[in-house]
Amino acid sequence: MSQQTSHKPLVKKIVLTLFFIFLLAPIYWLTVMSFKTDTEIVTGLTLWPQDFTFANYTTIFTTKSWWSSYINSAIYVSLNTIISLAVALPAAYAFSRYRFLGDKHLFFWLLTNRMTPPAVFVLPYFQFYSAFNLIDTHIAVAIAHCVFNVPLAVWILEGFLKGVPKSIDETAYIDGYSFPKFFATILVPLIRSGIGVTAFFCFMFSWVELILARTLTTSDAKPIVAVMTRVYSGAGIEWGLIAAAGVLTLIPGILVIWFVRNHIARGFAMGRV
Amino acid sequence: MTEFNNRAWLFVLPVLVIVAFNAIIPMMTMVNYSVQDIFGPGNRYFVGREWFQELLGDNELRNALRRQITFSTLVLLIEVPLGIMIALTLPKTGRWVPFCLIILGLPLLMPWNVVGVMWQIFARADIGLGGAAITALGFDFNYSRDVLDAWFTIVTMDVWHWTSLIVLLSYSGLRAIDPAYYRAAQIDGASRLQVFRYVELPKLTGVLTIGIMLRLMDSLMIYSELFVITGGGPGSSTSFLSQTLVKKAIGQFDLGPAASFSIIYFMIIVTLSFVFYRSITRVQEGE
């Protein structure tokens, strides 16, 4: 192993360093901008804020339309992750354990929903969710995001469940476990890492989505991504404020990665490899 | 091996209900609209295939499709090899691993329009670090006026945004390889290239299938980032399928043409993905 890694260590280090600089440079710029005043941003290039200010962050934390939008996003993203996992688990179990009428077609059909561009759904969703009086509620966005997250969750979980030997099911039934008990106490703990990976992906794709979230909300459930577009289209662009809001959207993601980092490494390793 | 049991449908039922609610009904609405000319509530006429015929000969759609395919091909060709390469160079153990993984995850967890906002600033020659750096090298860089600069900006942005996905997937695939394989290859005197081709690549096909499919699908739907950075411009040189569709559906509020556009768009993506999926799984079976 050591011979592998010490092959051309210097070249490797340079390549990695360059790539990480490329990844971090725009984020660095956004972060630095969030601590600058608007005049400093537009008047010249400064690598570090000359006039260091927290004003942009203060504005966000004291204006309700700003901070409540973060809470709105967090609510529908969590709801979506829970719903996606809850419906995808049994389905993934069925796909991994049984053959049934139309299973392959059903699986591909599910995947086609992951392929549908959200732009296609903008119009019908607005009318459809209006008809159910669901516009501007968190649950509406959570359910709408299921259209791409549920197929993805089924796809990933099915890979993990395939890795669990079938003899485990049979032994459990012989030992007198009922199906729900077997599912909750044996199977779910076994694919814990898989569930972690799936939750990460559901969270990620729901958190970053803009078009559907913007279409389905007007004020009470407006997510941060939509609030940012609104400020953006205003006449005078407040760059500092936008930068600060952008930096804050990174924080939930960092927290999620931190908590699931071990699951992700282990999960991918036992999953679809 | 797996038993045939139609009761398994019961397990699939919740997924069916929720996806049908979200996909089948809206899709049928679109089919319904696509064959009508709609002027307002109660004022609509059946036009049959007219919109479809018009669209298939429409230059706007064709050009958007051509640009879309160029873009998707470009980003896949850059991101997949680059991602595998970075995954191979990442350290396998050590205290830097968690930090590397978190930094790699950052671009993935940034909302898409925030990515757009960030790159819009970053690539500006007057107030952005990246744009200023390119200008300092002696290029006249302006992505809102020059077509080539605009393309360069959005492709770089996409590489920034999504290479990490390929890196993370490949990295976890590589970690799952038993060290015994490497030892065996070493005893056989395999070169680095041979180790990659016969030990690492076969183990990566599973995760790479997911990665490439996700990249293909998502690059075909790209909207939010471009909406912020270039808005489809200069002219319509970076206007892809989603931009064109949203402009039709919301900007001009042409329900009929927008609906038929949606259906054609959906068909294009499904066909491309299906062909891609089949060819990848073919290659895997051939391994």
pLDDT tens per residue, range A137-169: 899 999 999 999 999 899 888 878 887 888 888
Find the helix or strand (DSSP H, E) in which A98 lies.
strand A98-99
Chains A and B form CB pairs within 8 A to the count of: 279
Say whether pLDDT at A269 is over 70: no
> Residue A55 pLDDT more than 70?
yes
**Of the candidates B8, B25, B175, which has its C-beta nearest A269's C-beta?**
B175
Say yes or no: B184 contacts chain A, CB-CB below 8 A: no
Residue B135 near chain A (CB below 8 Å): no
Q: Is the separation of the CB atoms in B265 and B245 below 8 Å?
A: yes
User: How many structural domains comprise chain A?
Assistant: 1
Q: Which of B92, B98, B114 sits opposite A249 (nearest CB)?
A: B114
Q: Which CATH number covers residue A71?
A: 1.10.3720.10
**pLDDT above 90: percentage of residues in chain A:** 18
Contacts of A117 in chain B (CB under 8 A): 220-221, 223, 241-242, 245, 265-266, 269
Are A123 and B3 in contact (CB < 8 Å)?
no
Mean pLDDT of residues grouped by 10 in chain B (287 residues)? 72 87 84 79 75 80 89 94 91 78 86 88 85 85 85 93 90 80 87 85 80 88 84 79 79 77 87 83 67
- Bridge pairing between strands B3-4 and A98-99: parallel
Does B114 lie at the interface with A, CB-CB under 8 angstroms? Answer: yes
- Min Cα–Cα distance to chain A from B238, Å: 17
What pairs with residue B152 in β-bridges?
Answer: none
Which CATH number is B59-286's, of 3.40.50.2000, 1.10.260.30, 1.10.3720.10, 2.60.40.1180? 1.10.3720.10
CB contact under 8 A, B273 and A111: yes
In a domain? residue A182? yes
Residue A27: its pLDDT value, please?
92
Find all residues with CB under 8 Å of A160, minimum gap 6, and list them. A92, A191, A193, A194, A197, A267, A270, A271, A272
Between chains, do B104 and A97 touch, taking CB under 8 Å as contact?
no
The answer, for B187 touching chain A at a CB cutoff of 8 Å, is no
Amino acid at B267: M
CB distance B225 to B113 below 8 Å: yes
pLDDT of residue A117: 82
The Cα–Cα gap between B234 and A10 comes to: 42
How many angstroms separate the CA of residue B169 from the nearest CA in chain A? 7
Out of A69-78, A163-172, A218-227, B261-270, the most confident range is A69-78
How many Å lie between the alpha carbon of B236 and the closest alpha carbon of chain A? 18
Give domain status of residue A13, yes or no. no
Distance CA B122, CA A194 (A): 37
The whole-number pLDDT of residue A79 equals 94
The stretches of chain A forming alpha helices (DSSP H) are: 2-5, 9-34, 38-43, 55-62, 64-97, 103-115, 118-131, 138-162, 166-174, 179-182, 188-190, 192-208, 211-216, 224-232, 239-270
Chain A nearest CA to B176, separation (Å): 5
What is the model's pLDDT at position A266? 63
Average pLDDT over all residues of chain A:
83
Residue A217, pLDDT score? 87
pLDDT band of residue A230 (cuts 50, 70, 90) is low
- Nearest chain A CA: its distance from B142 CA (Å): 16
Structural domain boundaries, residue A240: 57-270
Which residues, 6+ apart, have CB-to-CB distance to B120 below 8 Å? B228, B229
Contact B14 A86 (CB under 8 A): yes
Question: Does A234 score more than 70 pLDDT?
Answer: no
Using the Cα atoms of residue A180, residue A183, residue A188 and residue A194 in order, give the sign of their dihedral. negative
Buried b / exposed e over B179-209, threshold 16 CB at 10 Å, is eeebeebeeeebeeeebeeebbeebbbbbbb
The answer to whether A33 contacts B121, with C-beta atoms less than 8 Å apart, is: yes
Q: Which of B112, B164, B206 sits opposite A273 (nearest CB)?
A: B206
pTM of the model: 0.84
ipTM above 0.90, yes or no: no
Residue A195: the pLDDT is 87
Q: Nearest chain B residue to A155 by CA: give it.
A: B210
